[in-house]
Amino acid sequence: GNSVTQMEGPVTLSEEAFLTINCTYTATGYPSLFWYVQYPGEGLQLLLKATKADDKGSNKGFEATYRKETTSFHLEKGSVQVSDSAVYFCALRKSWGAQKLVFGQGTRLTINP
Amino acid sequence: DVKVTQSSRYLVKRTGEKVFLECVQDMDHENMFWYRQDPGLGLRLIYFSYDVKMKEKGDIPEGYSVSREKKERFSLILESASTNQTSMYLCASSFDTGFQETQYFGPGTRLLVL
Average pLDDT on A68-83 reads: 96
Q: What is the DSSP string of B6-33?
A: ES-SEEEE-TT--EEEEEEESS--SEEE
Distance between CA atoms of B58 and B44, rounded to whole angstroms?
8
pLDDT tens string A78-87: 999 999 999 9
Query: What is the least distance, in Å, from the CA of B15 to any CA of chain A?
Result: 26
pLDDT tens string B29-41: 999 999 999 988 8
**Model pLDDT, residue A97:** 56
pLDDT-derived band of residue A42, with 50, 70 and 90 as boundaries? confident
pLDDT tens string B16-73: 999 999 999 998 999 999 999 998 888 999 999 988 999 999 999 999 999 999 999 9
Residue type at A91?
A: A
Q: Which of B92, B9, B112 is nearest to B45 (CA)?
A: B92
Contact A43 B106 (CB under 8 A): yes
Distance between CA atoms of B59 and B78, rounded to whole angstroms?
16
Phi/psi of residue A3, nearest 5 degrees: -155, 160
Which chain B residue's Cα is nearest to A34?
B102
Distance between CA atoms of B11 and B7, rounded to whole angstroms?
10
Residue type at A77?
A: K
Q: Is B107 on the interface with A (CB under 8 A)?
A: yes
Q: Which of A94, A99, A52, A60 is nearest to A76 (CA)?
A: A60
Q: Is the Cα torsion angle A87, A77, A91, B95 positive or negative in sign?
A: positive
Distance between CA atoms of B110 and B27, rounded to whole angstroms?
24
State in Å, rounded, how far the first CA of chain A is from the last one: 41
Distance between CA atoms of A37 and A58, rounded to whole angstroms?
13
Average pLDDT on A76-105 reads: 88
Q: Is A58 on the interface with B (CB under 8 A)?
A: no
**CB–CB of A109/A11 below 8 Å?**
yes
**Model pLDDT, residue B97:** 64
Average pLDDT on A52-58 reads: 94
**Model pLDDT, residue B2:** 66
Q: What is the mean pLDDT of chain A?
A: 92
How many residues would you count in chain A? 113
Distance between CA atoms of A107 and A8, rounded to whole angstroms?
6
Please identify among residues 63-92 of chain A the ones whose CB lies closer than 8 Å to any CB of chain B. 89
**Model pLDDT, residue B95:** 82
Distance between CA atoms of B51 and B72, rounded to whole angstroms?
10
Is residue A100 scored above 70 in pLDDT?
A: yes
